[in-house]
Amino acid sequence: MNILTTKVSYFTLAAYFDTGLFKYLFFIISMSLYILILCANVLLIVIICMNRSLHEPMYLFLCSLFVNELYGSTGLFPSLMVQILSDIHTVSTSFCFLQIFCVHSYGTVELLLLTVMSYDRYAAICYPLLYNTCMSSCKIAIMIAAAWVYGFFVCFIMVCLSSSLQLCGNIINKVYCDNYSVVKMSCSDIQLLNIFGLISCFGVIICPLSLIFYSYMKILKVCFSVCFSGSKQTCFEMLQSRFNMNSVLNMLRIFLSLYFLTCQPLFNPVIYGLNLSKIRVTCKQIFNSYLTDESFHVTRSVEF
């Protein structure tokens, strides 16, 4: 990434403030969240990879989603914990653009993976007889690879364009580096970046959301038709809302900006992983096997 044309060598993260001894409490909370995210996602990745009965399209997509949660949270938490303990809240220009790439590529890949997951459920529910043909191992691998490669490619181009801008400031009013905050400080022409932003917005936001909406509308239609015929049904809903940030207090705005990188990697293993019966059963089997082995070793040690 070209960062030599920028006029600043560091950025100041102005959203941090002096918390005195409370910074150690915030550090412990952040570290605990990061450890929970790591443990929850790694556990489910290992379970899916080690259990051959879970080598189905839905679980393979989930495994890729959990890997992305690890990637996104790692792009935030280590830097966040360092900044919490630090008295000087600055980051180098190269690190800032690296974090921008990680944060934005995490969000892009997340949305693309949710799109292919919605297509998988659409194919399974609406076309069950053709499901094995539609979701072959080769197609699954191509969809997962395409989500990661496309997400990384779009964000790489975005960061290259942003890093070539001439900047007239170095203050970012957030606790992590954000591309929009950097672009606002530009003194040079950003027309090319705006054009790319509009094109990429259509490719990574509008199209995926439209496909997700279409897939779940079709799924709901099938569910309601089955429900009206007297059969049982299970319904899942996801709702996300955006609010006007101009009227929100600064502290609340900072908290909301962290939600996507903190709560989502923590909640997704529960929402998408432990909520599935096969994964719950596998977790119980592993836990019971561990307890059995422990009790066996304790019994053997007592006998001797």
pTM for this prediction? 0.78
Q: Which of the listed ranges 140-154, 206-220, 256-270 does the model predict with the highest average pLDDT?
A: 140-154
Mean pLDDT of 164-193: 86
- For 78, residues 6+ apart whose C-beta sits below 8 A from its C-beta are 34
Residue 85 lies in a domain: yes
- Distance, CA of 285 to CA of 137 (rounded, Å): 27
Residue 239 lies in a domain: no
Residue 2 lies in a domain: no
Total domains in the chain come to: 1
pLDDT at 233: 36
Note the pLDDT tens digit of each residue in 206-247.
Answer: 888 888 888 888 888 777 765 554 433 333 433 333 344 444
CATH number at residue 70: 1.20.1070.10
Residue 61 has a CB neighbour count (10 Å cut-off) of 24
Query: Residue 186 belongs to what domain range?
Result: 10-230+244-303
Residue 235 lies in a domain: no
Q: With left for phi above 0 and alpha for psi between -120 and 50, is residue 42 left, alpha or beta? A: alpha
Residue 216 lies in a domain: yes
Angstrom CA distances, 148 to 34, 115, 140, 142, 250, stand at 23, 12, 13, 10, 33
Tokens at 253, concatenated? 């705005």
- Distance, CA of 114 to CA of 240 (rounded, Å): 13
- What are phi and psi for residue 236, nearest 5 degrees? -120, 140
Residue 236 lies in a domain: no
Residue 4 lies in a domain: no
Q: Is residue 179 pLDDT above 80, yes or no? A: yes
Which helix (DSSP H) or strand (DSSP E) does residue 12 occupy?
Answer: strand 10-13
Note the pLDDT tens digit of each residue in 118-135.
Answer: 999 888 888 888 888 888
Percent of the chain predicted with pLDDT > 90? 24
